[in-house]
Structure 1
Amino acid sequence: MKKIVLFSGGSACRSINIALCQSGVEVTRIVPAWDSGGSSKVIRERLGILSVGDIRQALMTMAHGEGCAGDVVKICNARISANLGLDDARKEFLFYAKRGHPLLERMEPGLRSAILNYLNTFASAVGDDFDFRHGSIGNFILTGACLAHNGDVNTAIFVFRKLCGINGNVWPSSIDSDLVLSATLKDGRTVVPQDAITTMSEPEARIGVAKLDLSRTSGERPTANSAVLDAIAQADLIAFGPGSVYTSVIPHLLVDDVVAAVERANCPKVLIGNILQCRETIGLTLADVSSAFDFHWRDHGGSSGLFSHILANRVLFPFEKTVGRFPYLTDGLSETPAYMLIRDEFEDAWSRGQHDGEAIAASLLKIMASGNEAGRA
């Protein structure tokens, strides 16, 4: 089975992940471990572990793509109500943790026992005053598994996959729990941490990001997850994106040893361009995005160019057009021997501003087949 590694963020990669799962290849998602916002923030601040939200979301996408829709997946997709008081939210959590939910009752006893054990491990760790509101049951289970296995997130992910029946892999690029992402803007100001970069004001966004830094509060350099290095070494194709360029995709290159591992990998390396601009890329083109990748790639030891192929959505309008708040991302690229530029209509016909997962998957499979043919030649 051919192996594709996707360096990505969260929801932007969903349709592509699903289409690849259904195309008969082995998919490995590499996701961020430095998320400082959302429901994961509360868990991270209370327990001092790495953010599990993007991991759980990617695992649920993998489950969807593989057709896993059992009771465990349904439980892991559930959330605590957001509009409750603290006491009522805790009671709702205990409805799961104390075996009250009907889905738990009809599970095989071993599965049920494992889930209840992880939920109660989580509850014991966070204490009676934890705010469960809008929390993901899947995040609680995954965190509980991490705690139950001595903080080993790779083991927790393996157990979570087995509980849900998921075959594909999802790994954080680093297993360090104290990662902090910061951005230096082109006027010299620093924006930190990750969620502050994602929610920059429009004036800050238009100044633009000059450089990213990923550091540990311990002062040490971020270390690569060994599972990620193994996946890169075995890959038949490595893709970057789509997703939030400066907070979800480029920062993977800032983890020690990732650049060297990608450079050693003898396979196509593909940039999947976003369909729309976002707050992080206001006023930029795909050429600008590619240059940002190239800067951080070379700044962390990369020598030759990172990408062998770039997938660019063909914008059909001769004027600026927006979907919601943001305009389409034009490519601004020119033909060059450095990489193969593939322009096509990669937007989903039914969901404006979103990728057509099947079209992207078909392009990646074609690139991978061409790369394999070139290797055999």
Structure 2
Amino acid sequence: MANVTRRLKVPDSVRIHRYQSLPELAPSVLFFSGGSALNKISRELKRYTHHSVHLVTPFDSGGSSAKLRQAFSMPAVGDLRSRIMALADETVLGQPDVYELFRYRLSQEATAQQLEQELAQLADGSHPLMQAIVTPMKALIKTQLACLCKHLPEGFDLRGASVGNLIIAGGYLGHQQLLDPIIFLFSRLVKTLGQVTTIVDETHHLGVRLDSGEVILGQHLMTGKEHPPLQRPIAEIWLNQGLEAECPISAYLAEDRSQSIEQADLICYPPGSFFTSLMANLLVSGVAQAIVANPNPKVYLPNLGTDPEQLGWSLIARIECILTKLLGSPELNLHTPVLNWVLLDLDYDYGAIDPVRLAKWGISVVRTPLIKDKPERYDERLVVEALLSFA
């Protein structure tokens, strides 16, 4: 087998022009992610490639997804739905009426009776948002919502509920409590320009141990969004069975997910909550082996600003954490690479970086403009063009 190398240029204007001209033939970029941090980048990405793959964590325990998880003992679907919507075809070739329905939320102020009536109108097709949808698609959506209504517990809180989440939940209940069939259908209905799926179709939760020894169970207690930020650094993370007691549990990568990882033209560890979005994906058995089996570039794009989960974790420590989780030791990355490049903005201060130490691990640093305006956040176009230059 021959090894082919090329000179890396970031951004590579020739490649970028080629991909933008023919996104149907552009490379596949695989992301290990969760949450909404990648949604704006995903919305830009679909202009360059229709072959991105998004492996999303289903372990969230907060927001509107939490109500559905508690009612039906199901995986979290909110992040799946929001990523599918970010990748939906928003041109005239897409399905704008379906798109509007899936992004609609029920009122926070309406009474329980009013919300139940609106849900019934959605399920029977008489709701204004449903009337605009053509018959074959309308029938499919009505089926999922009817299944949800049939199983919805008495007194279920519908305030602020995402209709997209409700449709997915109904499909989950109507497809032998499997997410993959309804996610496939949901994606086809909005003509998703990419592939979105869970890393595993499981109902597990997340557990962490702080450096003080305290154990926290539930993603919603870790992110610093719905609850006060953690006061001590996270020392360990695992998949947990339920939220009642510490009970580590294993999850195993399905063959189709493994093939997606092994065959991607580029693997990206993207911005987002470091532990509950990125590291949570890497907890699944089989992920490390699939990454190792892929000979193509692997890139880490760190967060900007303050991630409450990163308390006490420098950039070099986070890189070491990824390598240790996947390989057992960062030194092994030199000969069995799961990470080749760290992509950084040209001027942003990420803290102390040790290029010599990274080189010993087989990792190179690439700096290029990724931030355009204040307050400092990644510019979606600059990020996408930089990433695709590696592919």
Q: TM-score, normalising length from structure 1?
A: 0.87
Counterpart residue type for residue 344 of structure 1: T
Counterpart residue type for residue 155 of structure 2: D
Equivalent runs, 1:172-321 vs 2, <5 Å: 172-177=198-203, 179-199=204-224, 201-202=228-229, 204-205=230-231, 207-217=232-242, 220-299=249-328, 303-304=332-333, 305-316=337-348
Q: What is the rounded CA distance, in whole Å, between the counterparts of 1:23 and 1:331 in structure 2?
A: 33
**Matching residue within 149, 152, 157 for 1:126:** 152
Question: Which segments of 5 or more consecutive residues in structure 1 lack a partner in the other structure?
Answer: 317-327, 369-377
**Matching residue within 167, 171, 175 for 1:149:** 175
Counterpart residue type for residue 253 of structure 2: A
CA contact (8 A) 2:28 2:52 kept: yes
Gap change, CA 1:347 and 1:88, over 3 Å in 2: same
SS in 1 for 2:105: coil
**Matching residue within 344, 365, 369 for 2:388:** 365
Question: Which segments of 5 or more consecutive residues in structure 2 lack a partner in the other structure?
Answer: 1-24
Residues 1:343 and 2:367 aligned together: yes
CA contact (8 A) 2:346 2:369 kept: yes
Give the aligned CA root-mean-square deviation in angstroms: 2.3
Gap change, CA 1:331 and 1:108, over 3 Å in 2: farther
Please report how far the alpha carbon of residue 302 of structure 1 lies from its aligned counterpart in structure 2 after TM superposition: 10
Q: What is the rounded CA distance, in whole Å, between the counterparts of 1:10 and 1:285 in structure 2?
A: 21
SS in 2 for 1:330: coil
Please report how far the alpha carbon of residue 66 of structure 1 lies from its aligned counterpart in structure 2 after TM superposition: 7.0
Counterpart residue type for residue 114 of structure 2: D
Q: 1:140 is matched with which residue?
A: 166
Q: What is the rounded CA distance, in whole Å, between the counterparts of 1:232 and 1:65 in structure 2?
A: 27
SS in 1 for 2:196: strand
Equivalent runs, 1:14-29 vs 2, <5 Å: 14-29=39-54
CA contact (8 A) 1:15 1:356 kept: no
Q: What is the rounded CA distance, in whole Å, between the counterparts of 2:237 and 2:147 in structure 1?
A: 36
Q: 1:330 is matched with which residue?
A: 351
Residues 1:35 and 2:60 aligned together: yes
Q: What is the rounded CA distance, in whole Å, between the counterparts of 1:250 and 1:220 in structure 2?
A: 16
Please report how far the alpha carbon of residue 347 of structure 1 lies from its aligned counterpart in structure 2 after TM superposition: 2.3
Q: What is the rounded CA distance, in whole Å, between the counterparts of 2:220 and 2:112 in structure 1?
A: 24
Please report how far the alpha carbon of residue 47 of structure 1 lies from its aligned counterpart in structure 2 after TM superposition: 0.4
Q: TM-score, normalising length from structure 2?
A: 0.84
Q: 1:374 is matched with which residue?
A: none
Equivalent residue pairs, number: 353
Gap change, CA 1:201 and 1:291, over 3 Å in 2: farther
Q: 1:325 is matched with which residue?
A: none
SS in 2 for 1:367: coil
Q: 2:101 is matched with which residue?
A: 75
Please report how far the alpha carbon of residue 334 of structure 1 lies from its aligned counterpart in structure 2 after TM superposition: 2.3
SS in 1 for 2:52: strand
